[in-house]
Amino acid sequence: MSDATILSPDALLAAYSGKVRVRVGGLLLRAGALLLAGHRGLLPQGAPFWSPPGGGWQFGESLKAALVREFREETGLTVQVGRFLHLHEFSTDKLQALELFFEVLADDDAQPQLGHDPEHAPDKQLLVDVAWHTPRQLLHLPPAQVHPVLQHVLSTDDVFVPQVRFVE
């Protein structure tokens, strides 16, 4: 068993714990499915947490430039950022983020590939997979494995209706 498989969630998420972050995410639709990134460290038994590709907004860059950078890092795809869709307050006992989701477009011939988080060592990567998921497939996953902006989505049309969600 490698060190990457035995790291505790606390060790994996230490860089983000106890801080408020601003994150950008991209919703890419192709053939009725959404491109999602699977992350480890958020759920027990190493279950993946599926969310739109994206990440932290860095000082000095625009939101759109941050999303283009993050999408390329995580999926290898170069995207064009479209309209703003969702504002979401993400909160767990250790993580807190304000998330901004945009529609993104990519060349239909371009195929996503598992990327990396440059801020993490190769053996401490959170990103474990990129995959296309239809709304039906998402409904069959345990809700804890699906980002809240995608839970209860019945069709891809639901994803592209702008929403604001705050923790209550």
107 inside domain: yes
What digits encode the pLDDT tens for the residues 110-159? 999 999 988 888 888 889 999 999 999 999 999 999 999 999 899 999 88
Overall number of domains in the chain: 1
Q: Is residue 168 part of a domain?
A: no
Q: Is position 10 within any domain? A: yes
CATH number for the domain harbouring residue 45: 3.90.79.10
pLDDT in tens, 83-120: 999 999 987 777 688 999 999 999 989 999 999 988 88
Whether 35 is in a domain gets the answer yes
pLDDT for position 23: 93
* Interval 12-49: pLDDT, tens: 555 666 678 899 999 999 999 999 999 987 787 889 99
Distance CA 78, CA 20 (A): 27
Name the more confident of 94 and 67.
67
The verdict on residue 104 lying in a domain is: yes
pLDDT (0 to 100) of residue 168: 64
- Establish if 111 belongs to a structural domain: yes
Alpha-carbon distance 92 to 152, whole Å?
Answer: 19
Q: Distance between CA atoms of 88 and 125, rounded to whole angstroms?
A: 24
Q: What's the pTM value of the predicted model, to 2 decimals? A: 0.85
Backbone φ and ψ for 35, nearest 5 degrees, come out as -80, 125
Q: Report whether pLDDT(4) > 60.
A: no
Q: Which residue has the higher pLDDT, 65 or 151?
A: 65
What is residue 16's predicted lDDT score, i.e. its pLDDT? Answer: 60
Structural domain includes residue 159: yes
Residue 7 has a pLDDT of 58
Q: Which residue range forms the structural domain that includes residue 75?
A: 3-163
Please give the sequence-ordered ranges of beta strands (E in DSSP) within the chain, or none if there are none.
20-27, 29-30, 33-39, 49-51, 54-56, 80-91, 96-105, 127-133, 163-165
On the 0-12 / 13-18 / 19+ scale of CB atoms within 10 A, 70 is buried
